[in-house]
């Protein structure tokens, strides 16, 4: 059974997709053992409690320095003894110590087809604003392993979504969530839980889908 900890900052729609995926059997051999948010007001914490998943807030505001926060965050994660960490809209820079400790065992969902519209400054609505400003015809989402860069780790899954005439950043964001994010994040966790993903020379490979 793959033990998963989900890190969140906001509403937790991707967390809900994972919870539903486990319940519906889309994600097999997986248990969500904990949810951690950096924001005590994150609705994601409510979603966790409603589904009887241990949840807590570790906020940088509660510590005297970023180094102490990083230490406490890693301690909190380690307490759950996870096999996989899932960043589901977690708007905090992951400390290098955590990346090293969970190499190729931490994944992130990003709302674009990496390498387009990714890296520093590209998060949330900003991604969709940039895509519309550029006039691209296709956007999407990417699940990737986390490394020391921003959105630079090995890519596991991607799914394309068409841009439609009259799209606003908010409308596009919602379509990318519904058509891509909520599908490929559960799928990636399922593949990892069932030993179908391995990393070689900085690339992720999927066996026998």
Per-residue pLDDT, 12: 96
CA distance linking residue 12 with residue 49, whole number of Å: 12
Catalytic residues: 110
Per-residue pLDDT, 208: 74
Strands 2-8 and 55-57: unpaired
pTM: 0.95
Give long-range contacts, CB 8 A cutoff, 24+ apart: 70-74: 70/95, 70/97, 70/98, 73/36, 73/38, 73/98, 74/98, 74/101
Residue 116 tokens, joined: 């387009």
Per-residue pLDDT, 60: 94
Residues paired with residue 53 on neighbouring β-strands, in sequence order: none
Residue segments in the chain with a per-residue pLDDT below the cut of 70: 209
Per-residue pLDDT, 113: 98
CA distances from 17 to 28, 94, 121, 155, 183 (A): 14, 23, 25, 20, 8
Q: Do 45 and 57 meet the contact criterion of CB atoms below 8 Å apart?
A: yes
Per-residue pLDDT, 56: 97
Residue 44 tokens, joined: 């994601």
Per-residue pLDDT, 209: 61
């Amino acid at each position: 059974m793959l033990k998963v900890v989900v890190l969140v900052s906001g509403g937790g729609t991707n967390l809900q997709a994972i919870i539903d995926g486990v319940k519906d059997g889309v994600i097999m051999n997986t248990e969500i053992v904990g949810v951690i948010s950096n924001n005590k007001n994150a609705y994601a914490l409510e979603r966790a409690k409603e589904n009887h998943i241990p949840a807590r807030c570790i906020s940088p505001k509660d510590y005297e320095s970023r180094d102490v926060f990083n230490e406490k965050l890693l301690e909190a994660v380690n307490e759950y003894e996870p096999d996989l960490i899932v960043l589901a809209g977690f708007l905090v820079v992951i400390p290098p110590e955590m990346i090293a400790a969970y190499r190729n065992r931490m994944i992130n969902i990003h709302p674009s087809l990496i390498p387009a519209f990714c890296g520093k400054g590209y998060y949330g609505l900003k991604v969709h604003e940039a895509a519309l400003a550029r006039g691209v015809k296709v956007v999407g989402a990417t699940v990737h392993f986390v490394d020391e860069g921003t959105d630079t780790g090995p890519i596991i899954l991607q799914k394309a979504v068409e841009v439609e005439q009259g799209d606003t950043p908010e409308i596009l964001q919602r379509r990318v969530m519904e058509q891509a994010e909520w599908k490929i994040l559960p799928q990636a966790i399922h593949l990892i839980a069932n030993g179908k993903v391995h990393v070689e020379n900085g690339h992720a490979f999927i066996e026998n889908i």
